[in-house]
């Protein structure tokens, strides 16, 4: 196993410092050869942030109770107090670079570079420049030359800028793939509109962040998933009110509402009249 790391002021302490927007506190690299495995487990997480870049092999992470495998080009973010459990295996020849950081504007900086608050794992690109930039950070922390703390922030921002550019390239390549994914979701919701659908569960089951899924669904379909499902329920309720003699409780149940009073409120909000009033208006 090869390891090389460096720490701000040679301190291993896990610190929080909001005096500047972004402060790199430590960074390093691991490369597994003969070591069978390398496991990290922090049940209460850390006080600071951590970003891990997988440069080669595979890395196994547990994030929010789910097991995930990161391949070359993937990056993983752990936020303060988030449980950390990850394993590198020697037979997978894992090579990773990592950086710990803190600061008063970390969230805003992440958002500026396209990293949403609920994102933990994403593809940053399998580029040699990342190795170079991480190695430069390690060296800056080890040599502590003039203005090295500012240089550390500058280098780390270069990494984030490269991530943002990669995401922009991926977005243009993946527009059609995204459209197909959203069309499939709309088709599923349209077919299963009367079942109990939890949008967050659907996104997680299809390996999408919830915010990314909702944003792209709205962009593609023109409405949010929840609004889309509700519109399907109301439209089918309209049809039943017009063409059947089912009572309000039965219609509510058919279109997916266990509570007929709630169904009536939803219908009135969408159509400006209650289901009963709607039925009377079309049967005059």
Note the pLDDT of residue 169. 65
Note the pLDDT of residue 77. 97
The answer to whether the beta carbons of residues 71 and 39 sit under 8 Å apart is no
Class of domain 2-173: mainly beta
Q: Name the residue among 44, 45, 4, 11 with its Cα closest to residue 25.
A: 11
Note the pLDDT of residue 170. 60
- Spatial distance between the Cα atoms of 184 and 171, rounded to a whole number of angstroms: 18
Note the pLDDT of residue 80. 97
Note the pLDDT of residue 191. 94
Q: Residue 55: in which H helix or E strand, if any?
A: strand 49-56
Note the pLDDT of residue 167. 76
pTM: 0.61
Q: Residue 52: in which H helix or E strand, if any?
A: strand 49-56
Note the pLDDT of residue 179. 83
**Residue 46 corresponds to which tokens in the numbers above?**
């850390």
**Vertex 12: Cα angle to 87 and 150 (nearest 5):** 105
Note the pLDDT of residue 173. 56
Within 13 A of 215's CA, how many CA atoms are on the CB side? 6
Note the pLDDT of residue 14. 86
| Dihedral of alpha carbons 199, 230, 240, 274, sign | positive
The answer to whether the beta carbons of residues 127 and 39 sit under 8 Å apart is no
Q: What is the CATH number of domain 175-284?
A: 1.10.10.60
The answer to whether the beta carbons of residues 51 and 27 sit under 8 Å apart is no
| CATH 1.10.10.60 location in the chain | 175-284
Note the pLDDT of residue 175. 62
The answer to whether the beta carbons of residues 37 and 87 sit under 8 Å apart is yes
- Spatial distance between the Cα atoms of 216 and 221, rounded to a whole number of angstroms: 8
Task: Look at residue 56 and give its three-state secondary structure.
Answer: strand
**Vertex 81: Cα angle to 165 and 90 (nearest 5):** 70
What stretches in the chain show pLDDT beneath 70? 168-175, 284
The answer to whether the beta carbons of residues 156 and 99 sit under 8 Å apart is yes
- Spatial distance between the Cα atoms of 58 and 78, rounded to a whole number of angstroms: 18
Q: Name the residue among 55, 166, 181, 54 with its Cα closest to residue 121.
A: 54
Q: Name the residue among 119, 133, 210, 203 with its Cα closest to residue 167.
A: 119
């Amino acid at each position: 196993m090869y390891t090389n790391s460096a720490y701000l002021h040679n301190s291993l302490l896990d610190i929080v410092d909001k005096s500047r927007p972004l402060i790199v506190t430590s960074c390093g690299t691991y490369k597994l050869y003969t070591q069978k495995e390398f496991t990290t487990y922090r049940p209460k997480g850390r006080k600071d942030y951590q970003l891990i870049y997988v440069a080669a092999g595979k890395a196994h992470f547990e994030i929010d109770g789910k097991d995930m495998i990161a391949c070359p080009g993937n990056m993983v973010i752990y936020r303060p107090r988030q449980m950390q459990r990850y394993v590198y295996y020697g037979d997978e020849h894992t090579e990773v670079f990592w950086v710990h950081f803190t600061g008063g504007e970390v969230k805003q900086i992440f958002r500026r570079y396209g990293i949403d608050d609920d994102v933990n794992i994403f593809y940053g690109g399998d580029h040699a420049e990342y190795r170079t930039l991480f190695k430069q950070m390690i060296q800056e922390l080890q040599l502590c030359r003039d203005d090295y703390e500012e240089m550390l922030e500058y280098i780390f921002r270069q990494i984030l800028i490269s991530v943002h550019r990669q995401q922009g390239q991926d977005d243009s390549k993946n527009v059609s793939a995204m459209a197909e994914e959203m069309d499939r979701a709309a088709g599923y919701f349209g077919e299963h509109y009367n079942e109990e659908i939890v949008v967050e569960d659907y996104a997680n089951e299809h390996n999408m962040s919830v915010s990314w899924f909702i944003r792209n669904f709205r962009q593609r379909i023109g409405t949010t998933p929840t609004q889309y499902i509700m519109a399907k329920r109301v439209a089918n309720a309209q049809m039943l009110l017009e063409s059947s003699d089912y009572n309000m409780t039965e219609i509510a149940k058919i279109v997916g509402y266990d509570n007929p009073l709630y169904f009536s409120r939803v219908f009135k909000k969408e159509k400006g009249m209650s289901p009963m009033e709607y039925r009377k208006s079309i049967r005059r």
